[in-house]
Amino acid sequence: MMDYLGPIIAAAEKSIVREPGDYEEDGMRYCGKCGTKKQKDLSSCGIHRKVMILCKCAAEKRNAEDEAWREEQRRMYISSLRANGLQDRAMRDMRFENDDGSNRDAIDKARRYVTSSKQKNDIVN
Ligand SMILES: [Zn+2]
């Protein structure tokens, strides 16, 4: 059987930098920081290989980066909704904390509406 994965895996391993402190044990590479494996055995189509994997600290770093990216996407989405929904810039400063108390009835209704909307969103999410 032709080994299609071999060249791909070899190229990927060349791109992986060996970090200072990394060490070999039992034929596997380990992270010098967290002490977890950076390689694992993989069998596919009768071919056995050692492939690179993320150690615990690299996986945590990647997860944190992914979460930061998702949060940035969420902030950008909310910002675009605000920009499209409140096209009059003066309305963007209309917040409960900026209320001058001149129309208590309208503010009370607005607070009830916001509280109700938040509760509905909590149920959906
Ligand atoms: Zn690590």
User: How many A from CA of 75 to the centre of ligand 1?
Assistant: 30
CA–centroid distance, residue 46 to ligand 1 (Å) = 30
28-30 and 23-25 strand pairing: antiparallel
- Residue 33 CA, ligand 1 centroid: distance in Å: 5
Distance, in Å, from the CA atom of 18 to the CA atom of 33, rounded to the nearest integer, reads 12
* Cβ atoms within 10 Å, residue 70: 10
Residue 93 falls inside a structural domain? no
From residue 93, give the alpha-carbon distance in Å to each of 80, 82, 98, 103, 105: 16, 12, 7, 16, 19
CA 86 – CA 92 distance, rounded (Å):
7
Residue 47 within any structural domain of the chain: yes
Print the domain residue range for 9. 5-58
Residue 81 in domain? no
pTM: 0.59
Q: How far is the CA of 36 from the centre of ligand 1 (A)?
A: 6
Q: What is the pLDDT along the chain (125 residues), one digit of tens a residue?
A: 567 777 877 777 776 678 899 999 999 999 999 999 999 998 888 888 888 899 999 999 999 999 999 999 999 999 898 888 877 877 878 888 989 989 999 999 999 998 988 777 765 44
72 Cα–ligand 1 center, Å: 26
Q: How far apart are CA 16 and CA 13, in angstroms?
A: 5
Distance between Cα 86 and ligand 1 center (Å): 46
**33 lies in some domain:** yes
Q: How far is the CA of 67 from the centre of ligand 1 (A)?
A: 19
Q: Is residue 73 part of a domain?
A: no
Domain count, the chain: 1
Asked whether residue 31 is assigned to any structural domain, the reply reads: yes
Q: What is the Å distance from ligand 1's center to 54 Cα? A: 8
- Cβ neighbors of 1 (< 8 A, separation 6 or more) are 45, 46, 47
For residue 60, the CA-to-ligand 1 centroid distance in Å is 9
